[in-house]
Amino acid sequence: MKHTYEYPRAALTVDCVVFGFDAAELQVLLIERGISPFKGQWALPGGFVRVDETLDEAARRELLEETGLEKLFLEQLYTFSSVNRDPRERVISVAYYALTKPTYHRTQATTDAADAQWFSVRHIPALAFDHADILATALQRLRGKLRYEPIGFELLPPKFTLSHLQQLYEAVLGTELDKRNFRKKVLSYDLLLPLDETHREGAHRPAQLFRFDPVRYEKLKKKGFHFEL
């Protein structure tokens, strides 16, 4: 079926910047394009928005189709609209960014799904379209959010140690943090529940495991509290 309109309309896509955390580095999930334009180049997962779905739905659908990921933290980032960002025709793209826990991306790495691959944000290949701009914007946003909202946990497995969390902050923000001060502050918010388990690895003392307490977080949020660092 063909569709006819009075005035020309831009096509609408969503593109997703999926962040993960592994090997003490912030990672981004890219897919290799199988078709022209930019065939063979790396790009952000994404695709056209259907006329009967919201943008959030489109983003989740595309992620599932192209990378097998689902149920992750997802938030709208910005809408990109340079007139020539797509060489074929006018395409406006609503960008999203997503955060995944390592459990999931392990699963992902072993499945197929087009040709998805994780890249450290420190070594990103040339990207199709204006995806480098989108990625830069997403990084900026992630850094901002991490400081004043407790979303770091979305990048860690459900059980994690304070050192894991600190490494994450250091990697994303690109700073070094004092161990004692970091722990003092994080624990002061009372958002982390110590578990009865420890994490053992290597020849040293085992580390206390924690999990994030989302219920407590919602309570605090309603009282208007201010998370930082």
Residue numbers at the binding site for DNA (CB under 7 A): 161-163, 178-181, 183-185, 198, 200, 202-208, 228-229
Tell me the C-alpha distance between 25 and 31, whole Å: 19
What is the token pair recorded at 80? 């990109």
Tell me the C-alpha distance between 62 and 45, whole Å: 7
Tell me which of 43, 64, 92, 124 binds a copy of itself, using CB under 8 A: 92
Q: How far is the CB of 172 from DNA (least distance, A)?
A: 17
Tell me which of 34, 36, 51, 111 binds a copy of itself, using CB under 8 A: 51
Decide: is 56 part of the binding site for a copy of itself (CB under 8 A).
yes
State which residue, 52 or 228, has the beta carbon closest to DNA.
228
Beta carbons within 8 Å of 23's beta carbon, 6+ residues apart = 120
Tell me the C-alpha distance between 2 and 106, whole Å: 42
Task: Name the helix (H) or strand (E) containing 22.
Answer: strand 11-22
- Residue among 147, 214, 159, 226 nearest 188 (CA): 226
Nearest 5°: CA angle at 41, between 37 and 47?
A: 60
Decide: is 103 part of the binding site for a copy of itself (CB under 8 A).
no
Interface residues for a copy of itself in 167-196 (CB under 8 A)?
none
Decide: is 228 part of the binding site for a copy of itself (CB under 8 A).
no
Window of 30-38, 79-87, 114-122, 181-189 that interacts with a copy of itself by CB under 8 A: 79-87
Window of 64-72, 74-82, 122-130, 211-219 that interacts with a copy of itself by CB under 8 A: 74-82
Tell me which of 32, 41, 55, 151 binds a copy of itself, using CB under 8 A: 55
**What's the length of the chain?**
229
